[in-house]
Amino acid sequence: MESPNRTTIQEFIFSAFPYSWVKSVVCFVPLLFIYAFIVVGNLVIVTVVQLNTHLHTPIYTFISALSFLEIWYTTATIPKILSSLLSERRSISFNGCLLQMYFFHSTGISEVCLLTVMAFDRYLAICSPLHYPSIMTPKLCTQLTLSCCVCGFITPLPEIAWISTLPFCGLNHLEHIFRDFLPVLRLACTDTRAIVMIQVVDVIHAVEIITAVMLIFMSYVGIAAVILRIRSAGGCRKAFSTCVSHFIVFSLFFGSVTLMYLRFSATYSLFWDIAIALAFAVLSPFFNPIIYSLRNKEIKEAIKKHIGQAKIFISIRPGTSSKIF
């Protein structure tokens, strides 16, 4: 039975940030650069795909949606981390904590669903090229993208609602750099409910991750089987290049997510907890624009075209203004 004298926690204080001002600034500068690169890089991909009609194909529609989600996925955590690094009081309200967990996990789950859909898209494109245009229509692409977002934004709601009913009192020091389920659950006052919640959350995350990994794995098994039957080296290389970018992004994201959320009873040190969290919350989104732009001929050419058009516009603008005046 809960004591009536217990004071309910109204905010959480982060205790994982460096206390030294110099160390905080050293962490702040590269993280600010990474966040700016993620936002600008993904905005460039979204804009380029929208402005070029020849990129209005299923795979680029999905890449554009993934880039859009990446912006909000990182915005859910990085701005608060940046402000905490330069703030003396590194805290967040209880409601703010719940909101951050919800948006971080909803956008993350949406990305997991979208990466799974992208693997299925590559499977259809390589294994059924003749039927692909009639199956993967623009309408279906839109429906699949919206379904991924709906699934992502609905799935975390029961967990967030359940956590909001837990009593939090006493210690409010969060040993992490952003709010996540397990660090928050460890601060709950009731041992029994907290343990049950941790087990339930572990099972939910395990089902989500294993289901997505198995579907993507089966897609790539089918793709590999088709590629191995291609006799020409050029055809084999072309088929392989269409899915290598997705496979790299999948490996980066799911590798770190698996280490974080499929640990069950295993525990890591604070250093490795933060390192793994940064891998899927910061580094994976950082590499995605690089992978999808530098490794993609169509997007590179579209970016170069728009840069060239901007240079021409800038170069002729002074001459035009002089004629006017």
Q: What is the pLDDT of residue 163?
A: 81
Which pair of tokens denotes residue 219? 């897609």
Q: 14, 90 in Cβ contact below 8 A?
A: yes
Residue in the block written with tokens 């279906």? 140
Distance in angstroms (rounded) separating the CA atoms of residues 312 and 205: 51
Which pair of tokens denotes residue 304? 């170069």
Beta bridge partners, 91, equal 13
Which pair of tokens denotes residue 190? 């009731």
Residues 6 or more apart from 26 whose CB is under 8 A from it? Answer: none
Q: What is the pLDDT of residue 309?
A: 73
Q: Residue 56: phi, psi to the nearest 5? A: -85, 60
Distance in angstroms (rounded) separating the CA atoms of residues 21 and 1: 43
The strands making up 11-14's β-sheet, listed across from edge to edge, are 91-93, 11-14, 173-174
DSSP string, 136-177: S-HHHHHHHHHHHHHHHHHTTHHHHHHHHTS-BBS--EESSS
Q: Could you give the angle at which helices 58-75 and 138-154 cross, rounded to 10 degrees?
A: 20
Q: DSSP letter for 123, please.
A: H
Domains of the chain: 20-298 (1.20.1070.10)
Which pair of tokens denotes residue 43? 């905005």
Give first-to-last CA distance, the chain, whole Å: 82
Q: Residue 297: phi, psi to the nearest 5? A: -65, -45
Strands in the chain per DSSP E:
11-14, 91-93, 173-174
Positions in the chain whose pLDDT score sits under 50: 1-5, 321-325
Quick one: which of 147, 177, 159, 185 has its CA closest to 102?
159
C-alpha triplet 311, 292, 255: angle, nearest 5°: 150
SS3 91: strand
Q: What is the pLDDT of residue 7?
A: 52
pTM of the predicted structure, to 2 decimals: 0.84
